[in-house]
Structure 1
Amino acid sequence: MRIVLGVTGGIAAYKAALLLRLMTEDGHEVHVVPTDSALKFVGKPTWEALSGRPVYNDTFEAVEDVNHVLQGRRADVVVLAPATANSIAKAAAGLAEDLLGNILLTATVPVVMAPAMHTEMWENPATKANVATLRTRGVHVIEPAVGRLTGVDTGKGRFPEPEDIWAQTQQIVAETQTGDQLAGRSVVVSAGGTREALDPVRYLGNRSSGKQGVALAKAAAAQGARVTLIAGAMDVQAPTHPNITVVRIESTRDLLDAVLEHAQHQDALIMAAAVADFRPATATNEKIKKHDDATAPTIVLEQTEDVLRTSIEQRAAGQPLPRVIVGFAAETGDETTSPLEYGRAKLQRKGCEILVVNEVGIGKVFGQDDNDVTILFANSHEEVSVRGSKDVVAKAIIEQVAAALA
C-alpha cells in the first residue's frame, strides 16, 4: 500500500514518527509530507531516515514530476497526523498554500485525519463546523483521545495512540476497497518468476518480484472473488486472506501444469507471472564444478512452454478453462518498434481477451513499487493507460476483468 503521511505543526508531531514506523514495519511505502511548522518539531532527516524516501514539503519541489498532483493520485490513502485546528480549517476551506494542501485537494483515495489540539480548540464552534464539513465530504476524522495535553492541561484533544490510528486507517482502507464486482466469481492469478534448473544450486530466471501478481490477487479478493494464486519465486510474501488459496510452483512446466489444473471451471485467468522463456537443454544432478584452467561450460538453451498460448489452445480444444484470459507483455522497444507495438502484435498472436503491456528494463517495473501499463483488448475496446502504485494498477485491471465477465 502506498501512503502519504501528512504531518502538521503540533507538539504531537514526534508521535507521528512512531506511526510512520508502524506503517513501514508492515511493509508499506510511506511518503512523508510535513508542513513548515511541522519541521520545527521534527526535521527532514528524521522523516527521511524512518521512511527511506526523500521528503518534500514545497509545491515547487520535484515539479518535473508534477508532484503536487501525482502524490494524491498515486496514494492508496492519505493520513494527516497530527491534524491541528489550523490544518483542519485549511482543509475545510480548500486552501492549497503548500504541498500538503495540494495533495489533499487532488486525492481521490480515503483521507484520514487524527486531530491533536487543546480541548478549547477542539470544542470551538469553528472547529466543530470544519470537522462536520470534512466528514460530509467523506474525510475520516478520528475522534481525539482524552488525557494529558501539552503542559498541565488534561481533556479531549489528545493525539490518539499511533497503534489506534494505524488500526483505524487499515480498517477504513479495507472497507473502502471491499466491493462485490466479482462476488461469486473465481479467479486464478499467477505471480512471480519461474526458475529453470541448471544444476542443484543454479538456475536461469528473471527479475520478477511478484508484487504486481500479489496486488492483483488482493484486488480480486477485495472485490469478492475466490482467488487461486499460483506463486513462483517472489520477493514478497503471499497474502493471507480467507478468499485466497496459494499454490507454489518453481519451473515453467510447473506453472503450466498448475494453470491447466486449477484454472478449470474458473471465470478468469490472469497470467501476471514472468516466465523464464528459456531453460538449459540439459540439467545435471550434480553441481557443475569450476576448473583451474578458467574454462566455462557451454550451456545450450531451449524454449520453455508457452503457458498463455497453451491455455488458450486448450480452451479452444474444449477444455473448461476461463472465458476471460489476461496476458502480460513485459516488453523492451528497439529502433523500429515500440513496446506498445510489440504488445499489440502479441495480443493478436496469443488470442487472449486482455493483454497488459509494460516497458521493462533496469530500474523499471521489476522489483519496483510503481507500474505504468497499457491495457489492450481483443474486442477493439479502447485502450486503457494506468500509471501509479502496483495496487492502483491492479485495481484498474480487475475492473476491466469484472467488466469483461459482466
Structure 2
Amino acid sequence: MKNQHVAVYVTGGIAAYKAAFFVREMIKKGAQVKVALTKSACAFVTPLTFQTLSQNPVYIDGENSAEIVPHIELAVWSDLAVVIPATANLIAKMATGIADDFVSSALLASACPKFVVPAMNDQMYYNPATQRNLKQLMEDGICVLEPATGFLAEGYTGKGRLPEIEQVVEWLTFNYTRISQKQDLKNKQVLITAGGTIEPLDPVRYLTNRSSGKMGYALAENALLRGATVILISAPTQLKPPFGAKVIAVQTALEMAKAVETYYSKMDIVIMAAAVSDYRAAKPAAQKIKKRDTTLALQLVENPDILLGLGAKKKQQLLVGFAAETQQLVQNAAKKMVKKRVDLLVANDVSRSDIGFGSNQNEVTFLRPHQKPLLVKKTTKEEIAAQIFDVLLSQ
C-alpha cells in the first residue's frame, strides 16, 4: 500500500466510526488517503475526524469548487476505492449505476479497483434485493467482503457486522496485490504441506526437526496471489496462515499422510514442502518419562514415506518434493527424484547456517526428469516459491 492513493467512502451506518480505524491503518501502511462521506455518514462521524487522520480535506455533498469537479478529481486521483461501511442503499446505487450524491457519483466515475465492505442489519443483508445487488457488484469485478456474524446494533446476534479492521486490511491488501499478479493458476487446485511434524515420546516431549514452515507458507501465498484454490496442510509453526488458504493443522506424520490422502485425488498441483519425521516412537509413554541414572533407549519405527506413496499413484497431478541434504546434494536428490516419481525436486543444503531451516533465504537446485539441474542462487523464499510455480507451469 505504500504511496498508493486510497479513496475511502464512508456511508451512513452505525459502523461508520470504525472507518476511522481503517483510515489510520492505511496511513500506517504508507498509503495516501482521501475520504468522502455521505450526508447520513456525517450524522455518525464528523468530517473533522477524517481530515485530522488523513491530513487531507474531506469530500462531502454541497461543497463544490469553481475550478474543479470534485467527484471527478477524486475518481482520477484514486488508485483504489474502498467503501466502508457499505450500506444496502449505497450497494444498490453502485449495482444500478445511480449517481445522485457525491459518493455515488465519484464511485461511478472511478475506473480503479473497487472494494466494498458491507455492514447492515441481518434482515437487510439477506433481503433478495441486497443479495442480487451484491452478486451484480461481484460480476462487475468489484471485490466484496462477506460481513461478520456477531452482536448487531439492534441488540441481537446476526450476520451483518463489519469484520474486524485487521481482517479488512488483510483482505484488501491481498486482493489488491492479486490484481497486479498474473493469474496463471486460476481454477487450479493446489495442495501444499509445510512445517516440521512432531512425534510424541510422552505427554511432554516429542521428536521434531528445525523446519520453520516458511517455504511452504511462501508457496501457499504465491499460489493464492496467482489465483489458485489452496489447501495448506501445516505442522506446527509460528507463522500466520496466508489469507485465503484453507488451513488444516496436523502434528504427526501419520496425521499429515491422512490429510494429504483426503484431498490428493482432486488436486492439480501437490507440493510436499513439509519436513516430515522419518521415525516415531513405537509406543509413546502414557506418563512423563522420569529422569534416570542410566541411559535411556528409545524404540523407533519408520513413518510412511508420504511422497513415495503419492508418486506411485500419481495421475493428473504435478508433484513436487523437497530434499534437505547435508552432503552430495545433487547426487542424493537425483536418486530421490527418480525413486519418488516427482515432476520437480527442490534440493537444498541444510548444513549451511545462512540458508534453509529457519532462514528467510535459501539456495536451491531444481531437478526435473531428463533435464539438467537448475541452480537458483541465494534469494528469498518468496522468490523461490514464485520460480517453482514458473517452472511447473512451463512444463
- TM-score (norm. length: structure 1): 0.53
Indicate conservation of the 8 Å contact 1:252/1:276, yes or no.
yes
Confirm or deny that 1:297 pairs with 2:296.
yes
For 1:5-154, what aligned pairs fall within 5 Å after superposition? none
1:264 aligns to what SS in structure 2?
Answer: helix
Could you say which structure has the greater relative contact order, defined with CA pairs below 8 angstroms and 6 or more residues apart?
1
Confirm or deny that 1:383 pairs with 2:374.
yes
Give the whole-Å Cα distance in 2 for the aligned partners of 1:167 and 1:227.
Answer: 16
Matched with 1:29 is none
Equivalent in 367, 383, 387 of residue 392 of structure 1: 383
Indicate conservation of the 8 Å contact 2:343/2:369, yes or no.
yes
1:263 aligns to what SS in structure 2?
Answer: helix
Equivalent in 340, 345, 349 of residue 339 of structure 2: 349
What is the Cα deviation at residue 249 of structure 1? 0.8
What is the Cα deviation at residue 176 of structure 1? 3.1
Give the whole-Å Cα distance in 2 for the aligned partners of 1:231 and 1:280.
Answer: 21
Worse-superposed segment, 376-385 or 203-212: 376-385
Matched with 1:98 is none
Confirm or deny that 1:187 pairs with 2:182.
no
Change (3 A) 1:381 1:204: same
Q: Alpha-carbon deviations, 1:259-306, whole Å to 9, x = none? A: 111122210100000011122222111111113xx2242112222110
1:235 aligns to what SS in structure 2?
Answer: coil
Equivalent in 318, 324, 327 of residue 324 of structure 1: 318
Change (3 A) 1:169 1:269: closer
Indicate conservation of the 8 Å contact 2:197/2:235, yes or no.
yes
Indicate conservation of the 8 Å contact 2:199/2:253, yes or no.
yes
Change (3 A) 1:271 1:171: closer
Give the whole-Å Cα distance in 1 for the aligned partners of 2:213 and 2:223.
Answer: 16
Confirm or deny that 1:197 pairs with 2:191.
no
Indicate conservation of the 8 Å contact 2:189/2:267, yes or no.
yes
Matched with 2:158 is none
Matched with 1:277 is 278
For 1:193-342, what aligned pairs fall within 5 Å after superposition? 193-241=196-244, 244-291=245-292, 294-315=293-314, 322-333=316-327, 337=328, 339-342=329-332
Give the whole-Å Cα distance in 1 for the aligned partners of 2:255 and 2:173.
Answer: 39
What is the Cα deviation at residue 169 of structure 1? 8.9
Change (3 A) 1:308 1:238: same
Give the whole-Å Cα distance in 2 for the aligned partners of 1:169 and 1:224.
Answer: 15
Give the whole-Å Cα distance in 2 for the aligned partners of 1:382 and 1:273.
Answer: 22
Indicate conservation of the 8 Å contact 1:386/1:393, yes or no.
no
Corresponding letter in the other structure for 1:366:
F
Confirm or deny that 1:366 pairs with 2:357.
yes
The percent identity for this pair of structures is 32
Give the whole-Å Cα distance in 1 for the aligned partners of 2:385 and 2:321.
Answer: 13
Give the whole-Å Cα distance in 2 for the aligned partners of 1:172 and 1:226.
Answer: 17
What is the Cα deviation at residue 353 of structure 1? 1.0
Give the whole-Å Cα distance in 1 for the aligned partners of 2:176 and 2:267.
Answer: 31
1:229 aligns to what SS in structure 2?
Answer: strand
Structure 2 spans left out of the alignment, 5+ residues: 3-24, 33-78, 81-169
Indicate conservation of the 8 Å contact 1:269/1:322, yes or no.
no
Change (3 A) 1:175 1:197: same
2:345 aligns to what SS in structure 1?
Answer: strand
Change (3 A) 1:267 1:169: closer
Matched with 1:176 is 180
2:371 aligns to what SS in structure 1?
Answer: coil
Indicate conservation of the 8 Å contact 2:174/2:225, yes or no.
no
Corresponding letter in the other structure for 2:376:
S
What is the Cα deviation at residue 379 of structure 1? 4.1
Indicate conservation of the 8 Å contact 2:363/2:376, yes or no.
yes
Worse-superposed segment, 388-397 or 276-285: 276-285
What is the RMSD of the two structures over their aligned residues, measured on CA atoms?
Answer: 3.4
Give the whole-Å Cα distance in 2 for the aligned partners of 1:305 and 1:170.
Answer: 36
What is the Cα deviation at residue 170 of structure 1? 7.9
Indicate conservation of the 8 Å contact 2:207/2:280, yes or no.
yes
Give the whole-Å Cα distance in 2 for the aligned partners of 1:218 and 1:308.
Answer: 22
Change (3 A) 1:221 1:284: same
Count of paired positions: 242
Give the whole-Å Cα distance in 1 for the aligned partners of 2:237 and 2:362.
Answer: 17
Give the whole-Å Cα distance in 1 for the aligned partners of 2:318 and 2:177.
Answer: 28
Give the whole-Å Cα distance in 1 for the aligned partners of 2:28 and 2:357.
Answer: 26
Give the whole-Å Cα distance in 1 for the aligned partners of 2:359 and 2:28.
Answer: 21
Give the whole-Å Cα distance in 2 for the aligned partners of 1:167 and 1:264.
Answer: 30
What is the Cα deviation at residue 168 of structure 1? 10
